[in-house]
Amino acid sequence: MSKTILKAEKRSVEGRKVKTLRNKGILPGNVFGKKVKSLAVQVDLKDFEKTYKEVGETGLLTLSIGTDERPVLIHNLQLHPISDESVHVDFLQVDLKVKVEADIPVELSGESPAEKQGVGTVVQYVNEVKVEALPADLPEKFEVDTSGLAEVDQAIMVKDLSYDKAKVEVKTNPDEIVAKVEPPQKEEVVEAPVAPAEGEVPTEGAVEAGNGEQPAAGAPEAKEEPQS
């Protein structure tokens, strides 16, 4: 397996001043891990983005800091809330002989006969599955083939996923649904309100016949005087 290397430098700029680094196309970050002293680093933003596309958050990479090389995982990438640009990254330094836990992404592939025939819709219930494995054995992703889903309520469970069981231990509930065919949703028909007839004025509450006026609250009712 080829080794992915990302060059980094020790970082002296901290706090609000890191904004000056970002303006120069430099991404601030930190290296941490068990029995590892935290180290502030910085990497070229373009180099990082290229590496991130290759390895994601589950692929092992070598962080080269001068003459020091450290096996790391991209543990946490912070993005700008508006521009979605990378603003900070944490690198988790790992021991290649010690297992780690990671959330592996799930991707659906293939065409479901149920969807093709309009019988139902495939709904993805799980986007990530937690596993434990040696850093070099972590799967890049779980690819789920939906071409066998032909009927409503037919589902694929976590226990149906394909992976090397000798190297990878799945921590997520094996009976949890990953993807399932749901029946098509019926569209509710909303009736339009009936327009009043021409000349008719809609009113609230009951209206007395005759003059169309209601007595004021608490007013005594008018009584017809007897004719003499």
Q: Is the pLDDT of residue 210 over 60?
A: no
Q: Is the pLDDT of residue 228 over 50?
A: no
pLDDT digits (tens, 9 = 90+) for 7-23: 999 999 888 888 899 88
Whole-angstrom distance, CA of residue 69 vs CA of residue 7:
9
Domain that holds residue 86: 5-94
Q: Indicate if 109 and 51 belong to the same structural domain.
A: no
Could you tell me what percent of the chain has a pLDDT over 90? 71
Q: Indicate if 30 and 85 belong to the same structural domain.
A: yes
The whole-number pLDDT of residue 207 equals 47
Q: Judge whether 57 and 74 are in contact, CB under 8 Å.
A: yes
Q: Indicate if 75 and 141 belong to the same structural domain.
A: no
Does residue 209 fall inside a structural domain? Answer: no
Q: Among positive and negative, which fits the CA dihedral 140, 84, 24, 15?
A: negative
Amino acid identity, position 37: K
- Structure-token match 């933003």, residue found: 45
Tell me, what DSSP letter sits at residue 126?
-
Q: Is the pLDDT of residue 175 over 50?
A: yes
- The Cα-based distances of 191 to 24, 98, 188, 194, 200 in angstroms read 59, 64, 10, 9, 21
Q: Is the pLDDT of residue 202 over 60?
A: no
Q: Indicate if 32 and 74 belong to the same structural domain.
A: yes
Could you tell me what percent of the chain has a pLDDT over 70? 80
Q: Indicate if 105 and 87 belong to the same structural domain.
A: no
Q: Indicate if 10 and 80 belong to the same structural domain.
A: yes
pLDDT digits (tens, 9 = 90+) for 177-196: 999 999 987 655 566 666 66
pLDDT digits (tens, 9 = 90+) for 45-102: 999 999 999 999 999 999 999 999 999 999 899 998 998 999 999 999 999 999 999 9
Phi, then psi, of 180 in degrees rounded to 5:
-150, 150
Q: Look up the CATH number of the domain holding residue 174.
A: 2.170.120.20
Q: Look up the CATH number of the domain holding residue 59.
A: 2.40.240.10
